[in-house]
Amino acid sequence: MVGPDEMAFLRQNVLGEGGDAQGLLDYLKKMQANDPAFCHAIQVDKNGCVVNVFWADARAKAAYRHFGDAITFDTTYKKNKHMMPFVTFSGVNHHLQTVIFGCALLMEETEFSFIWLFETWLAAMGGKAPCSLVTDQNRAMKAAIGKVFPNSCHRFCKWSILSRTKQKLTHTYSEHPTLRDELESCVLETETISTFETTWMSIIDRYDLRKNSWLQAIYNIRQKWVPLYLMDTFFAETFPTWKLETMNDFYKKYFNTKTTLEVFLNQFDLSLAGRYEDEAKADMDAYLNKATTKTASLIEKQAAGTYTKAVFSRFQEEFTESLGFIIQKTEDGCISKYSITKYEDPSDTFCVTYNASNKMANCSCKYFEFSGILCRHILGVYIIVDPRTLPTEYFMKRWTRKARDDDALLEDNNNNTHDEDASQSTTSRYNTLCADAIRCAEKGAGSEAVYKAAKDILQKAYEEIIAYERNTGQGSQRDVININEDVTIDDAMNDKSMPDSGRKVTNLLGQFVNSTWSPV
């Protein structure tokens, strides 16, 4: 938890000596001017002091539509001695690259503040909760997640826990520097729960650590952070040692004690622009060049033509490994069962069930449920029962070359949902049309030729809208629409849990006195 003294330092570091948050306000105004779909919200305490700030742009919202099933809430700023309290909602795209779903300045770590931030972010993302969330250990955060995301699987970050090994086991670590590697190997490389527990206890006994309270504590909550206990939930992790680039990595590159908030945010935006460029290059490469197969297998060829290169590389590894197993049928019939063991290590046995009627299979390792890519055990069975093709259900769209192909507009029109939208408020209709326009912009910006075609099409559409407006005799209602309605300032005047001290935002609020405020 951040104490009062640290919180005062955070505010000073973020808002500066003047305390009117002008730099922050200028940044938000600039983003709003450049992006009509940009949304932001400011939480203040009962004294009118900034507590938390959230924002997300059009690209963050678009990325969430495609890749928002597995989320990491990154609070690694706490590892940085300069304490710029910048947090991100992030995930992984179809090229296994980090994507950002929203950002915040978090200067208060109470349950109240986390609830506000999570609810604000969820509303900005369209109200659809993720399948899973990965966070650091924090009691207030955990309580807030339970209330805002009751149906999402919450897991603690394994890297955050393992990184404390040296600090928590100083004496043992100094004598046995390989201890962390052994613990990491136990957590990341064991393939069954029984093997993990046996290996863990073996390490504990080897170094006489049975009485270590920290090791006891993290073992007691192993179901909350060790992947093997959570394999039935999708986390978009395609290999054990994979991890998102954290904000701590960003700090090391771009931040020092003299970095102002404005400079920091501009550096972050440049970093994001670089990521968007990397994704665009990967998209173009996937379009122009198909992945290279290693065998004559039709299954491998099917996967190479469906997945992006990065994801196919992971599939290819599983496919290659599938050739090194002993596969024995243990039950026959419409639903058959297979026992899968390694040639060199028969200690871990996996069970694959195959349904001949629908050609679907599942494995006791649950790797597909966890990562969205078929495991080596199921692939080994398919090579035997049907070596020609895999069911399309096993190719998650979010991992394919068509992950960003969005037919939502067609679906909406076919389902006549626009009739329902028309009965809503002017603001609701405006927001719906903005979302549709953003989808058009995403597709239209792909190349110069497509851009020119999109501009012509949109110009014609605009002219038709104007003509229809005139013919129906319904004048423009733009005077009652505030395109900045995605801005909100929430206060805690009646909430006693909020702090009394902070940076005044009187000037900040004054500049918005004529604005209309509504939830994101």
CA distances from 220 to 97, 111, 133, 136, 278 (A): 33, 24, 20, 17, 41
Residue 220, in any domain of the structure: no
Residue 176, in any domain of the structure: no
Final residue belonging to a domain, choices 336, 365, 399: 399
Residue 288, in any domain of the structure: no
pLDDT digits (tens, 9 = 90+) for 9-26: 445 555 555 444 677 888
**Is residue 124 a contact partner of residue 174, using CB atoms and an 8 Å limit?**
no
Instruction: Enumerate long-range contacts of 56-61, CB under 8 Å, 24 or more apart.
Output: 56/101, 56/102, 56/103, 56/121, 56/124, 56/125, 57/31, 58/438, 58/441, 59/272, 59/276, 60/100, 60/101, 60/102, 61/37, 61/101, 61/124, 61/125, 61/126, 61/435, 61/438
The domain in which residue 386 lies consists of 298-399
**Is residue 300 a contact partner of residue 319, using CB atoms and an 8 Å limit?**
yes
For residues 327 and 436, state if they share a domain. no
DSSP structure string for 416-478: THHHHHHTS-HHHHHHHHHHHHHHHHHHHTSSHHHHHHHHHHHHHHHHHHHHHHHHHT----G
For residues 106 and 40, state if they share a domain. yes
Q: Place 67 in a pLDDT band, splitting at 50, 70 and 90.
A: very high
Residue 434, in any domain of the structure: yes
- Residue 12: CB partners within 8 Å, gap ≥ 6? 503
Q: In this predicted structure, what is the pLDDT of residue 260? A: 75
Give the distance, in angstroms, between the CA of residue 311 and the centroid of all CA atoms in the same chain. 17
What does the buried/exposed string (b/e) look like for 25-60 if buried means 16 or more CB atoms within 10 Å of the residue's CB?
bebbeebbeeeebbbbbbbbbebbbbbbbbbbbbbb
For residues 498 and 464, state if they share a domain. no
Q: What's the DSSP call for residue 292?
A: P
Final residue belonging to a domain, choices 374, 399, 424: 399
**Residue 478 CB: number of other CB atoms within 10 A?**
10
Q: In this predicted structure, what is the pLDDT of residue 367? A: 97
Sign of CA dihedral 17, 18, 19, 22: negative
Biggest distance spanned by C-alpha atoms of the chain: 84
For residues 317 and 357, state if they share a domain. yes
pLDDT digits (tens, 9 = 90+) for 70-100: 999 988 766 555 556 789 999 999 999 999 9
For residues 82 and 144, state if they share a domain. yes
For residues 380 and 450, state if they share a domain. no
Q: Place 511 in a pLDDT band, splitting at 50, 70 and 90.
A: very low
For residues 337 and 466, state if they share a domain. no
Least confident piece of the model among 38-47, 299-308, 373-382:
38-47
For residues 151 and 81, state if they share a domain. yes
Residue 142, in any domain of the structure: yes
For residues 139 and 117, state if they share a domain. yes
For residues 458 and 499, state if they share a domain. no
Residue 349, in any domain of the structure: yes
Residue 318 has pLDDT above 90, yes or no: yes
For residues 8 and 141, state if they share a domain. yes
What does the buried/exposed string (b/e) look like for 379-407 if buried means 16 or more CB atoms within 10 Å of the residue's CB?
bbbbbeebeeebeeebbbebbbbebbebe
Final residue belonging to a domain, choices 399, 421, 445: 399
Residue 440, in any domain of the structure: yes
CA separation for the pair 49, 290 (Å, rounded): 54
CA separation for the pair 225, 160 (Å, rounded): 10
Residue 253 has pLDDT above 90, yes or no: no
Total structural domains within the chain: 3
Give the distance, in angstroms, between the CA of residue 337 and the centroid of all CA atoms in the same chain. 36
What does the buried/exposed string (b/e) look like for 101-136 if buried means 16 or more CB atoms within 10 Å of the residue's CB?
bbbbbbbbbbbbbbbbbbbbbbebbeeebbbbbbbb
Q: Place 514 in a pLDDT band, splitting at 50, 70 and 90.
A: very low
DSSP structure string for 462-506: HHHHHHHHHHHT----GGG--TTTTEEEE--TT-TTS-S---B-H
CA separation for the pair 306, 195 (Å, rounded): 35
Q: For the chain, what percent of residues have pLDDT higher than 70?
A: 77
CA separation for the pair 423, 412 (Å, rounded): 15
pLDDT digits (tens, 9 = 90+) for 334-355: 999 999 998 877 778 999 999 9
Q: In this predicted structure, what is the pLDDT of residue 405? A: 82
For residues 1 and 143, state if they share a domain. yes
Residue 302, in any domain of the structure: yes
